Amino acid sequence: MATFRIKRYNPEKQPEPYYEDFDLDIPKGATLLDCINLIKWTKDGSLSYRMSCRSAICGSCGMKANGHALLACQRQADSLLDKDGTVTIEPLGNMKPIKDLVVDFKPFWDKVNKVQPYLQTSAEAPVGKERTQSPEQFRLIDDTSTCIMCGNCYSDCNTLEVDDNFLGPAALAKAQRFVCDSRDEKTLERVTELSKPGGIWDCTHCAECVERCPKPAQPFHRIKEIMTVALEEGVHNNNGARHALSFTRSVKASGRLNENQLPVESMGYFNIKGLLELVPVGLRMLLKGKIPPIFHKSIDDVKDVKRIYKELNQ
């Protein structure tokens, strides 16, 4: 006998969410979704959740099990039980619950729309055939095109937990789909927009989106691909780009990071407000003797590092 501890919520009846335990014998090989269906059909018909395909294709059954987003139809219920035979089921995070496990996806879709998820080109459509790509060109967008918009990444994104303004992993992955599309002509405009606050440089590298993504879309990797394009396209006038460039230069110069230079260069030498913000933490560290040596020391054999940079034209 397993216990499904489900977070219930019905604002029409009770303003606060609560947990309800359902005991169930898990049929052999049953997925989490199979079990939730059984609970709905045999124990409480009012339990609300989304589902459709039951085979990890439609992206509707995203929910949290033991605190992490997954597709209920993709995981065996057995594998989710803790040592007491319990699994805790909650709605996806970072979105407002509507009822039980159903959340409001509106902000999610708004953000996907914001990245203009469609091909933009002035080229005439070829008559009688598609706009084709070579296999190499397609490979660059193959992974993102597998996204099923389940919202698992959005649910567990660490930046979104503290900043609603962040576009979030799914929308940014979708943006990569067009930034790296050989047929799209708006690359520069796209990466310029994506480099603004709320875009790529607000991603905190937590990789929760990669961990939770049921497909090869894996947004964090896609976000880094956009960053590389943004830097190549010369969109450098923001802290994220300055940070990446300063960091890379520093390793070229000495083989290691120059911690004194990096914050200043990230803010930009003319960004007085940003530079002033660095003062309190800098002073505190100075007083504790934590400021890195002023005369930055190189690694041994920094020559070889410079050689590699040169060979790669960096």
Partner 1 sequence: MKFALFTGCVAHGATRELMVSTKLAAQALGIEFVEMKSAACCGAGVVSEKSPLLADTLNARTIALAEAQGLDLVTICSTCQGQLKKTECHINGDEEYKKKINHLLSDGGHQYDGRKSRIKHFANILASEEGMRRLKERVVRPLKGLKCAAFYGCYVLRPSELSEFDDPDNPTALEDIFTALGATPVDYPSRTKCCGFPIVMMNKKASLEMAGNALLDAVESGADCVVTGCPLCHLNLDSYQPEIDKLLKKKYAIPILHLPQLVALALGHTPKELEMDKHIVSTTKVNRILASH
Of 100 and 208, the one with the shorter C-beta distance to ligand SF4 is 208
Q: How many CB atoms lie within 10 A of CB 40?
A: 16
Instruction: Name the one range near partner 1 by CB under 8 A: 12-20, 54-62, 89-97, 247-255.
Output: 247-255
Instruction: Report phi then psi at 7, rounded to 5.
Output: -80, 115
Residue 52 site contact among ligand FES, ligand SF4, partner 1, none (CB < 5 to 8 Å, cut-off depends on kind): ligand FES
Angle between helices 219-232 and 169-179 (to 10 degrees): 50
Residues 170-229 that bind partner 1 (CB under 8 A): 197, 201-208, 210-211, 218, 220, 224, 227-228
Instruction: Please give the single-letter amino acid code of residue 313.
Output: N
For strands 62-65 and 86-90, give the pairing.
antiparallel
Q: Determine, following the binding rule CB under 6 A, whether residue 51 of this chain makes contact with ligand SF4.
A: no
For strands 102-103 and 97-99, give the pairing.
antiparallel
- Applying CB under 6 A, which of residues 92, 180, 203, 235 lies at the interface with ligand SF4? 203
Contact characters 41-80, ligand FES, x per CB under 6 A:
----------xxxx-xxxxxx---------x-x-------
Three-state SS for 76?
A: strand
Min. distance of Cβ 275 from partner 1 in angstroms? 11
Residue 60 site contact among ligand FES, ligand SF4, partner 1, none (CB < 5 to 8 Å, cut-off depends on kind): ligand FES
Inter-CA distances, 83 with 3, 64, 65, 178, Å: 11, 18, 15, 45
The binding site for ligand FES (CB under 6 A) comprises 51-54, 56-61, 71, 73
